[in-house]
Amino acid sequence: MDKSLALLGLVDTGSSYGYDLKHRYDEVFGRGKPIAFGQVYAALARMIRDGLLTTLGEEAGAGPDRKRYAITEAGRDRIREWFSTPDRPAPELADNLFVKVVLACMLDSDADELLDMQRSEHLARMRELTRIKQHSPLLERLAVDHALFQIEADLRWIDMTSARLTDMREEVRRNG
Amino acid sequence: MADIALNPATTVPARGTPLIRAIGLHKSFGATKALRGIDLDVNQGEVLAVMGPSGSGKSTLIHCLAGVLAPEEGQVVIGDTDVTALNADERARLRLERIGFVFQFGQLLPDLTALDNVALPLLMNGVGRRAATVRARKWLDRLDISDQATKVPGDMSGGQAQRVAIARALVTQPSVIFADEPTGSLDSVAGEKVLTAMLEAVRESNTTVVLITHDARTAAYADREVIVRDGMLSAASRGVAA
Ligand SMILES: Nc1ncnc2c1ncn2[C@@H]1O[C@H](COP(=O)(O)OP(=O)(O)OP(=O)(O)O)[C@@H](O)[C@H]1O
Ligand SMILES: [Mg+2]
């Protein structure tokens, strides 16, 4: 998962200092694996360079920890593009999708839509595999079945999450 | 009586054009709005999976498409027949002649043998007993359950009974099959076998299938899926970009 997008999304929920962003990230997405300060500042610097972020009321010569970051219109576009791009079904998917859904709830973006698109992407991949399976020898069929069950597990998570979006939005707002 | 041709081949459009067209369907049960504006095309020969949460309106949708229920608003056209313009008797005739149904369970007549269950729709369509029996046997054979012909449903396994139900739905060579969780009561291996047997038969005859399922592995056998949520199709199902 691209951690800078998660950081960008967090800045979109309200301008913030690097220090606060790091702690906010750990709290929402860290799940026992905190992000390093160095990684946060490197990502922020890159996004400033790319025009996705800007700094507010910067004191001359202030160090990175004294800067207050805000998202730009280009940054918002980048988030929208990210939300509207379904992930390819793959083992690392859960991370990226999880972050997208949580941020979509925080930003009042259409998380239902995002999950629906993801569902279509998964089902399209399952259809593809099912087609392959129908013309395969038994051993290969077993391997394809394994892949199918894994995608299906993702889909169940998507269905479950979709059913819990209302609760999730409330919880995210309470903690925000 | 509306003009409903017995031979679907003469009235259905070629593959790739819609065989079923639903426009603006609304259906309520008292205060419950089960369908809230559904537009849907299903092409000739297409296998469409209908998915979505429990209570979202999937069964109501296929009942409206099949003329079992009459929507309060909207139109359903199958082939050249405006289903929503038919009265209840005409709809019953349409179902008998052009539509096959497969449900999760409890659909076979318990006192009839597999063979008689499958022959029944033909007899109801006026086919003679002898011809009906020959055709019923052929379908039992195609679904690989000839050995069950003389058994009653209670003496068959769930998977065998489902195959009989599918043979019964296909025996009249309908233009459309509506299936509501047809493999829902079977384990995944048995379910997959029943499903592939059904799909093999329908693909050969270019029959259109609308299949409700909550199971993604089953939906993956379809050509396309739509998601019903709160009585509407999801944006992704309508082909609307986010
Ligand atoms: N005959 C009926 N009388 C009253 N309410 C009904 C009737 N049939 C369906 N409903 C209601 O309409 C809504 C949609 O029901 P429907 O059976 O179409 O859902 P479904 O998507 O098929 O659900 P499931 O996956 O549980 O079968 C539900 O709220 C249901 O309670
Ligand atoms: Mg139902």
Mean pLDDT of B120-139: 95
Please give, rounded to a whole number of angstroms, the shortest distance from the CA of A30 to a CA of chain B: 29
Which of B151, B144, B141 lies closest to B116, judged by CA? B151
**pLDDT tens per residue, range A84-109:** 988 887 766 677 888 899 999 989 88
Indicate if ligand 1 lies below 6 Å from the C-beta of B242.
Answer: no
Mean pLDDT of B220-241: 85
Domain total for chain A? 2
Please give, rounded to a whole number of angstroms, the shortest distance from the CA of B116 to a CA of chain A: 32
CATH numeric code, B8-233: 3.40.50.300
What's the farthest any 2 CA atoms get from each other in chain B? 57
Amino acid at B90: E
How many angstroms separate the CA atoms of B177 and B169, rounded? 7
**pLDDT tens per residue, range B198-220:** 898 898 888 999 999 999 999 99
**In this predicted structure, what is the pLDDT of residue A176?**
59
Which of B115, B113, B120, B88 lies closest to B2, judged by CA? B88
* Chain pair A-B, CB pairs under 8 angstroms: 48
Instruction: Please say if the pLDDT value at position B150 is more than 90.
Output: yes
DSSP for residue A142: H
**Which is it for strands A16-17 and B176-180: parallel, antiparallel or unpaired?**
unpaired
Instruction: Please say if the pLDDT value at position B4 is more than 50.
Output: no
Residues A75 and A111 in one domain: no
Comparing alpha-carbon positions, the chain A residue that sits nearest to B242 is A84
Of A57, A83, A109, at which residue does a domain stop?
A83
Out of B217, B225, B229, name the one closest to residue A148 (CB). Answer: B217
- Report the percentage of chain B scoring pLDDT > 90: 72
Tell the residue nearest (CA) to atom 16 of ligand 1.
Answer: B57
Of A83, A100, A127, at which residue does a domain stop?
A83
> For residue A15, what pLDDT band results from cuts at 50, 70 and 90?
confident
Residues A104 and A57 in one domain: no
Tell me how far apart the terminal alpha carbons of chain A are, to the nearest angstrom: 22
Inform me whether the C-beta atom of residue A41 falls under 8 Å from chain B C-beta atoms.
Answer: no
**The two three-digit tokens of residue B149, written as one number:** 């012909």
Indicate if ligand 1 lies below 6 Å from the C-beta of B63.
Answer: no
- Report the percentage of chain B scoring pLDDT > 70: 91
Tell the residue nearest (CA) to atom 7 of ligand 1.
Answer: B29
**What is the DSSP annotation of B126-137?**
T--HHHHHHHHH
How many angstroms separate the CA atoms of B64 and B74, rounded? 10
A159: which chain B residues are within 8 Å (Cβ-Cβ)? 53
Q: Provide the residue ranges of all domains of chain B, joining segments of one domain with +.
A: 8-233
Residues A65 and A108 in one domain: no
**In this predicted structure, what is the pLDDT of residue A64?**
60
Helix A3-12 to helix A73-83 angle (10° resolution) is: 120
Backbone φ and ψ for A37, nearest 5 degrees, come out as -55, -45
**pLDDT tens per residue, range B49-91:** 999 999 999 999 999 999 999 999 999 999 999 999 999 999 9
Cα B224 to chain centroid distance, Å, stands at: 16
Tell me, what CATH number does A57's domain have? 1.10.10.10
**Which is it for strands B176-180 and B99-102: parallel, antiparallel or unpaired?**
parallel
Contact A159 B53 (CB under 8 A): yes
Instruction: Please say if the pLDDT value at position B2 is more than 60.
Output: no
Out of A112, A123, A163, name the one closest to residue B225 (CB). Answer: A123
Strand order in the sheet with B73-78: B32-43, B18-29, B73-78, B81-82
> For residue A63, what pLDDT band results from cuts at 50, 70 and 90?
low
Contact B235 A122 (CB under 8 A): no
Residues A75 and A114 in one domain: no
Cα(B59) to ligand 2 centroid in Å equals 4
- Report the percentage of chain A scoring pLDDT > 90: 47
Mean pLDDT over the full length of chain A: 87
Mean pLDDT over the full length of chain B: 89
Of the ligands numbered here, which is closest to the C-alpha atom of B54? 1
Residues A96 and A70 in one domain: no
Contact A83 B234 (CB under 8 A): no
Of A23, A48, A83, at which residue does a domain stop?
A83
**In this predicted structure, what is the pLDDT of residue B32?**
95
Domain, as residue range, for A17: 1-83
DSSP alpha helix (H) spans, A107-137: 111-134
> For residue B1, what pLDDT band results from cuts at 50, 70 and 90?
very low
Strand order in the sheet with B232-233: B99-102, B176-180, B208-212, B47-51, B224-229, B232-233
Residue with tokens 């239902």: A112
> For residue A60, what pLDDT band results from cuts at 50, 70 and 90?
low
- Three-state secondary structure of B5-45: CCCHHHHCCCCCCEEEEEEEEEEEECCEEEEEEEEEEEECC
